[in-house]
Amino acid sequence: PSSELTRHVARWLRLCDAQPAFAQAKATAAKAPAASGGGERGSGCPPLEGAVDGKVVTRFPPEPSGYLHIGHAKAVLLNDYYAKRYNGKLLVRFDDTNPSKEKGEYAANILRDLETLGIDVEKKKEAGGYVTMSHTSDHFDHLMKVAQKMIKAGHAFMDDTPQETMKAERETRTNSKHRDAAADVNLAKFKELCAGKADDWCLRAKIDMTSDNGTLRDPVMFRGNKDEHHRTGMKYQAYPTYDFACPVVDSLEGVTHALRTTEYNDRDAQYAWIQNALKLRPVKIHAFARINFVRTLMSKRKLAWLVDQKAVEGWDDPRFPTIQGVVRRGVSVESLQEFIIGQGASRNVVNLEWDSFWAINKAAYEPHALRLMAIEKQGMCELELTNVPQYDDEGVHAIIAPRVPKDPSLGERPVRVS
């Protein structure tokens, strides 16, 4: 009978509830919606692996080589969302490892864009809030020491193989002629590189040239660069690559979860290898798909070319997908936040149409946008019409209508008629 079946199922469920593992799982699941503000916000953002409430540290590492665009907004807001969800910290760290492309102007405008998105780094840093800021350049000296440690351990070597030859050797999985050089020889040459005396050389990790994963075929970790750095000036003559600096500094600065787009999937193994080789605290990686809009140019290099060629007004041109561009075009920041979090942290890459975003944007303005009518002053002329109905209100031919149809409290306006 169905009643007997129900009784047995109820007994089974009570037995499950009594198990410690079930109780812990229920408690963890109950925390997530409450921390995210309830409702549907963040419903597409899965829990972070191994996350502990109050101890999560996420990071957003922009390179100051251009202004933030709507693609960066997803990374910013997801990192911010998870930091808040777990009552943790958000670290904004400028990845300033390439002085040839970076400018102080870009760094200043990135801070401005973050403030637009609701993340005021300076204020929250001063107030002891959940947002902090750093620069990879803060750790250049430490990264040089770490590189020397890897050389001494036999995990890195110096190489002067030309770039095209290096690329060909990677494709054919051929070892560099310098791969088995002695540690003391590599160490001496590395010091020359850092002193600006070995411009044609670079430091490479010694991982596995036979790997099916191309990012593990002895990647470059340090290279020479004599351009002036926008923060450190001419103090350094060689700089770490992003792929080397990121896993080291993430671990050093206490990051617990590194959110990276799926285009970095192959590099995740390299990230883990560097931390393991240096015996660093491991950082968990959480992948999400980048945001793509059809018929939209998102490459900072190509956007910079348009700016340099003066084909547009600047990085805030309303035709640009930059944060400043879309805000100037009329985007509501609240709508942008809702749209990004609504996309969630899925790994599925989707090409989005702007129509779906503009629908959300319109809904944000609908309740409070005043309805006004106007004509261009230039080229206007007056006409006197004598055969139309008259709606005379103190000498003004108009119909009185609410400023906002759904909110009479915002007042009324005259609609001129003819």
Question: In degrees, to the nearest 5, what angle opens at C-alpha 239 toward C-alphas 97 and 300?
Answer: 30
Catalytic residue list contains 85: no
Annotated active-site residue in 290, 328, 403, 413: 290
Coil, helix or strand at residue 330: coil
DSSP string, 73-124: HHHHHHHHHHHHHTT-EEEEEE----TTT--HHHHHHHHHHHHHTT--HHHH
In the block, tokens 């409702």 appear at 39
Coil, helix or strand at residue 306: helix
In the block, tokens 């990879």 appear at 136
Nearest to 28, CA basis, from 9, 2, 52, 12: 52
- CA dist., res. 207 & res. 205, Å (int): 6
- CA dist., res. 32 & res. 28, Å (int): 7
- Check residue 71 and report its DSSP letter: H
Which residue type does 414 have?
Answer: P
- Check residue 326 and report its DSSP letter: H
- CA dist., res. 141 & res. 249, Å (int): 12
Structure tokens at 268: 């995740």
Nearest to 256, CA basis, from 373, 83, 2: 83
Catalytic residue list contains 63: yes
Question: In degrees, to the nearest 5, what angle opens at C-alpha 65 toward C-alphas 63 and 67?
Answer: 95
- CA dist., res. 333 & res. 344, Å (int): 17
Catalytic residue list contains 300: yes
Work out the number of other CB atoms within 10 angstroms of the CB of residue 274.
23
Query: Which sign, positive or negative, has the C-alpha torsion 239, 244, 246, 248?
Result: negative
Annotated active-site residue in 85, 102, 300, 338: 300
- CA dist., res. 226 & res. 172, Å (int): 32
Estimate to the nearest angstrom the gap between the alpha carbon of 207 and the chain centroid.
29
In the block, tokens 């006004």 appear at 372
Estimate to the nearest angstrom the gap between the alpha carbon of 225 and the chain centroid.
26
- CA dist., res. 303 & res. 117, Å (int): 21
- Check residue 237 and report its DSSP letter: S
Catalytic residues: 63, 290, 300
